[in-house]
């Protein structure tokens, strides 16, 4: 969540930043007023509590001195102040609850590098890559046999069975078969091998507590997009970012430990509640998909390099797979709630003739760490909140689609990139 101390110190700056994110100025004013009221009520309650404590001491002294009338008068005053203190405490709790609810809905302050904009149409392209670009090759021209959508390829090769997926779990759940399933597994092994040099591999639970979901900013704002298991107070994770962010929740790390780099392969679950009717064919939009996540706890000074490292790794995987991609600097209207700065990577998929998002690499400042209470101890003994950075490297459903379309041969087979051969058990050709 945002820093209330900064709001008190720089109200105009914070308000302008949140207005850029689409937050009405009146909501920021309400937040500021609630914070002031909460601090005032807290002081009143603490003052009354101190007076009651002092009166109790005086009552005790009067009774020890057998001054009954004074003791009774002081006790009556103490009871009256005690009633006031209880009222003040309840009022403090009520305002604190309203303040917390509003604060949890506030998005992060956007970095100066984030362009202004209303939605995804205002994102700014900052780069492209395609095979042979360094040697002067033009952007690929795809042949007709590559212009076949992946769901048709999947059905013809019996590697994607959306009908069985729907039979088992409903629409927008995929069932991969044979070489199609092996391709997902190969991609995960391919990626995890790449990241093992610097990132500790974690195998986290697929379910998370509400507190864990709040830490990343997914709750309460995006509750409608999440799968909740009400009976057990658990949520199916929408991304590996959720458990990784809370892995050190409530802890104080040593500065010498930082950056702490983690990676995890997880299944991810999203209701896609706001996407009814979009991308209903194939695997472009699923309720469940697999993803490899990269994550780092770091100091503010380390954040830019941590972000750049994750971005480099995601790009390196795409380049080894030979998939054309572009980089987008997300605008204020498309930025995730918790993010201060995000670069998206999108691959071009010829069969659907579209750019497909396969990774978001984000810096959250201390927004998530404040929720999760993850701090580090500096060399001078003081503590500060860590910064968090994360990104996908990569999300496999859309990579799967782009691969089978891009590498489809004239005879209908798919000759996958040779870098996948070792993870495919030999020749990575699907016939």
Question: What DSSP state is assigned to residue 160?
Answer: B
CA 314 to each of CA 179, 378, 416, 429: distance values in angstroms, whole numbers, following the listed order? 24, 31, 19, 24
Helix (H) or strand (E) holding 267: strand 260-269
What's the chain's length in residues?
431
- CA–chain centroid gap for 391, Å, is 9
How far is Cα 7 from Cα 25, in angstroms, rounded to an integer? 13
Q: Are 222 and 286 in contact (CB under 8 A)?
A: no
Structure tokens at 240: 């590996």
**Of the candidates 320, 333, 328, the residue with the CA atom closest to the CA atom of residue 345:** 328
Structure tokens at 354: 């579209």
Q: What residues pair up with 288 in beta bridges, in sequence order?
A: 269
| Neighbour-count burial for 177-193, b at 16+ CB within 10 Å, e otherwise | eebbebbbbbbbebbbe
Q: What residues pair up with 392 in beta bridges, in sequence order?
A: 293
Q: Name the H helices within 158-226.
A: 162-169, 178-195, 210-216
**Of the candidates 121, 114, 125, the residue with the CA atom closest to the CA atom of residue 331:** 114
For helices 396-406 and 178-195, what crossing angle results, to 10°?
Answer: 120
How far is Cα 218 from Cα 210, in angstroms, rounded to an integer? 10
Q: What residues pair up with 296 in beta bridges, in sequence order?
A: 261, 389
Q: Is 26 helix (H, G, I), strand (E, B) or coil?
A: helix
How many CA atoms lie within 13 Å of 164's alpha carbon, on the beta-carbon side?
Answer: 9
Residues catalogued as catalytic: 270, 285, 357, 360, 398
How far is Cα 228 from Cα 223, in angstroms, rounded to an integer? 8
Q: Are 368 and 215 in contact (CB under 8 A)?
A: yes
How far is Cα 51 from Cα 58, in angstroms, rounded to an integer? 10
Q: Are 349 and 406 in contact (CB under 8 A)?
A: yes
Pairing of strands 260-269, 288-298: antiparallel
């Amino acid at each position: 969540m945002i820093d209330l101390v900064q709001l008190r110190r720089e109200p105009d700056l914070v308000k302008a930043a949140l207005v850029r994110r689409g937050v009405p100025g009146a909501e920021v004013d309400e937040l500021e007023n609630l914070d002031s009221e909460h601090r005032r009520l807290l002081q009143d309650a603490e003052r009354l509590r101190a007076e009651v404590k002092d009166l109790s001491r005086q009552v005790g002294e009067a009774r020890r001195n057998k001054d009954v009338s004074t003791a009774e008068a002081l006790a009556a005053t103490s009871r009256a102040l005690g009633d006031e203190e209880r009222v003040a405490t309840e009022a403090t709790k009520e305002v604190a609850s309203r303040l917390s609810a509003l604060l949890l809905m506030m998005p992060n302050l956007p970095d100066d590098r984030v362009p202004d904009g209303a939605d995804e149409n205002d994102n700014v392209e900052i780069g492209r890559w395609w095979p042979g670009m360094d040697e002067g090759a033009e952007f690929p021209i795809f042949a007709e046999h590559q212009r076949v959508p992946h769901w048709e390829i999947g059905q013809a090769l019996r590697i994607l069975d959306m009908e069985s997926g729907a039979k088992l779990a409903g629409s927008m759940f995929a069932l991969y078969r044979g070489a199609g399933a092996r391709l997902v597994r190969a991609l995960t092994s391919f990626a995890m091998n790449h990241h093992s040099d610097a990132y500790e591999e974690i195998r986290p639970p697929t379910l998370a507590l509400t507190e864990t979901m709040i830490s990343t900013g997914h709750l309460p704002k995006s509750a409608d997009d999440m799968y909740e298991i009400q009976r057990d107070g658990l949520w199916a994770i929408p991304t590996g970012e959720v458990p990784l962010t809370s892995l050190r929740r409530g802890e104080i790390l040593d500065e010498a430990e930082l950056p702490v780099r983690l990676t995890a392969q997880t299944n991810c679950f999203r209701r896609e509640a706001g996407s009814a009717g979009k991308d209903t064919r194939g695997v472009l939009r699923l309720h469940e998909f697999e993803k490899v996540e990269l994550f780092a706890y770091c100091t503010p000074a380390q954040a830019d390099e941590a972000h750049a490292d994750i971005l480099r790794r995601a790009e390196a995987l795409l380049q080894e797979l030979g998939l054309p991609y572009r980089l987008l600097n997300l605008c204020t209207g498309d930025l995730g709630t918790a993010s201060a700065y995000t670069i998206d990577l999108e691959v071009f998929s010829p069969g659907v003739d579209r750019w497909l998002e396969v990774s978001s690499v984000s810096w959250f400042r201390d927004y998530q760490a404040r929720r999760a209470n993850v701090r580090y101890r500096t060399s001078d003994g003081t503590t500060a909140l860590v910064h968090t950075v994360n990104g996908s490297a990569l999300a496999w459903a859309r990579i799967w689609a782009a691969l089978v379309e891009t590498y489809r041969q004239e005879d209908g087979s798919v000759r996958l990139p040779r870098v996948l051969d070792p993870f495919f058990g030999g020749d990575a050709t699907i016939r």
